[in-house]
Structures are given as C-alpha cells and as structure tokens.
Amino acid sequence: MAVFTEVPEADARALAQRLGLGELSALRGIEGGIENTNYFVTTQKDGQQADYVLTLFERLTAEQLPFYLYLMKHLAQRGIPVPDPQADRHGEILHAVQGKPAAMVNKLAGKSQLAPQVPHCAAVGAMLARMHLAGQDFDRRQPNLRGLPWWNDTVPVVLPFLEPAQADLLRSELAYQNHVAASPAYAALPRGPVHADLFRDNVMFDGETLTGFFDFYFAGVDTFLFDVAVCLNDWCIDLPTGAHNTDRAEAFLQAYQSERPFTAAERQLLPAMLRAGALRFWISRLWDFHLPREAAMLTPHDPCHFERVLRGRLRQLAPAAVAHAAA
C-alpha cells in the first residue's frame, strides 16, 4: 500500500456520506506496498466510530476491478474473514475518487503477525484451504495478471539491470517454468480464485486467532498450488536469509491438507511451484525497484530477497536429486 494520489478530506467525506457510513472524523495515508493508493478512514455515525480502508486503484482498470470486489463479497458471504466492499444506495461497490476507480472496505480487527510461529502458519494454511473451497463456485473469471505471460513480458525489461550470474538464473528459471506450464501434471492441477499475494502483512491476527485476509488486488484464477507456494515462501521463510523453516512449513501444509488434501499432481509439482512463487516476486520486485513510479509514501521492496529464496529452493532440490540418482 502507498499514496500515489492525494485525496482531499472533502472527497473522502463526500464518499463516506454517499455510502451511508456517517461523518468523516479522520483520514490517514497508509505507507507501504507498491500498487495502489490507500487511506485509513474513520467515521462517526449514531455515536459509534467505524474504521474503513479507502483504496484508489492506480493500475487496475474499471473493467478488471469487479472480479476482485465481487470475489471479496462472495467469500465474505461464505464465512471467510475478508474485507467487505461498501455499496451505495444503488448497490454499486466500485466508486470513483480523484478520477480513479476506488473502493471502501471495512477495516479488519487485529494486526499483522510479522514474526509468525507455528500456530500462525497453521491458521493461515487452514483458512487458505477454506478460502479455495469457498471460491470454487464464484462465477466470474479473470486470470492471474502477474502469471506466466507477465513474467515472459517483464523479464526482458529487467534483465539489463542485472549482473551476469543473476541474469543467467532469471533466464534459466523462466525457461523451466515455461516447461512446467506445458506439462500434463500442470494441466491436472486444481484451479480457482486465488489470493496470489498472501504475505504476512496481508493477514490479520488477534494473538494466535486469525481475524482476516485482505488486499485481494492481485487475485485471479490460477492453480491453488501456486497460492500455497506464495504463502510458504513468506510465512515459512527466514526473512534475513531466505532459508526454509521446516517446522512452520509442515504446520502450514498439514493444516491446509486437513481442509483440502493435495492431489497427486499437486504433490508432484510443489517443488516447482515453490520456485515459481519465488520467481514471480523476484521479477515484480526487480520491476518496481528499477522502474519505480512516483508516490508520496513508497518504499520499494528489496528485490534480492526473492533471489535468495529462489536459490534456496534450488539448493533444497539438489540433495533430493542426488538421492534419487543413487536409488
């Protein structure tokens, strides 16, 4: 989250009133993230205070946005703790602020758990599986816009900024992921709406109780296994080193599979998808770091982090390959 477009209080006040949320009492820009403009909005109505998040979409179009907003509505109606887009008296949940498409959602209780332990990872795994199951009957379709076609388009743009060894790794991993995507096993993977960006800062906790998933604006229809891999590459990784944490990963996977067991194809391709998840965020962070946009509050993420995660995933495969060859 960040602030690319300044929102005057008068605009936020008018939107809050139009949505029947009461009188604006506070408006505060949110720092962090790299895609959209976000503000915390506080209102007063009938003597009660309520908190919301106002998002102005800087890249997504009015044609793309209904998928994300109605997906959140769909999941909320099925008991998944996600932000609920606020509608006006005509039932519209996509609005306009400062000439940009915008949405107002309720602010979830709790706070992000940035140093997760085994219970937090288990809670995320179980809720992710429930979310996948709850989304299976969602009737809108939109691909993951940061999927393989975007990787293929973006890698040539970022390659000139890399050292030779980095460029070699990026090219070889992209070729491998194109090979995987053409395989029968990949075609057999279960699919549906996925979050695709469920990092630690996109989940809320009250102690060890999970209170919500949010920031669905990278969601799309993709393999459930890719969503699992994205989570494992953040929740079950040591941030300073990019090293895999076995205890947290086992807790996450056991909890996920207690709700939705893996298929044979998913068990086979989990290592490949862990590499895919690391590649996706290495590419996007390189893009954001070397080709930044102006914003009032923006701190680009370190692109080298997911290079380390990818190299770590490749090292994990080496002992398994040696053991397999010996057998």
**pLDDT tens digits, 44-55:** 999 999 999 999
CA-nearest of 199, 264, 258 to 225 is 264
pLDDT at 321 over 80: no
β-strand partners of 106: 52
Query: Which 3 state secondary structure label does DSSP give 147?
Result: coil
Q: Say yes or no to pLDDT of 301 above 90.
A: no
Mean pLDDT of all residues in the chain? 93
Nearest-angstrom CA–CA distance, 303 and 235 = 18
CATH class belonging to 118-326: alpha beta
Worst-scoring range by mean pLDDT, 84-88, 237-241, 321-325?
A: 321-325
Each residue's pLDDT tens digit, 264-286: 999 999 999 999 999 999 999 99
For residues 9 and 3, give the distance between their C-alpha atoms in angstroms, rounded to a whole number: 14
DSSP β-ladder status, 203-206 and 23-29: unpaired
Residue type, 126: A
| pLDDT given for residue 294 in this prediction | 60
Amino acid 48: pLDDT: 97
Q: Residue 146, Cβ neighbours under 10 Å: how many?
A: 19
Could you report the per-residue pLDDT of 226-254, keeping only the tens digit for each?
999 999 999 999 999 999 999 999 999 99
CA distance 224 to 218: 14
CA angle 315, 318, 323 (to 5 degrees): 150
CA–CA dist 183, 120 (Å, integer): 34
Mean pLDDT of 110-117: 97
Domain residue extents for the chain: 11-106, 118-326
Instruction: Read off the pLDDT band of 108 (50, 70, 90).
Output: very high
Superfamily of domain 11-106: Phosphorylase Kinase; domain 1 (3.30.200.20)
Q: How many CA atoms lie within 13 A of 265 on its CB side?
A: 15
Percent of the chain at pLDDT > 90 equals 88
Adjacent-strand bridge partners of 225: none
Query: For residues 44-55, b (16+ Cβ closer than 10 Å) or e, as one string?
Result: eeeeeeeebbbb
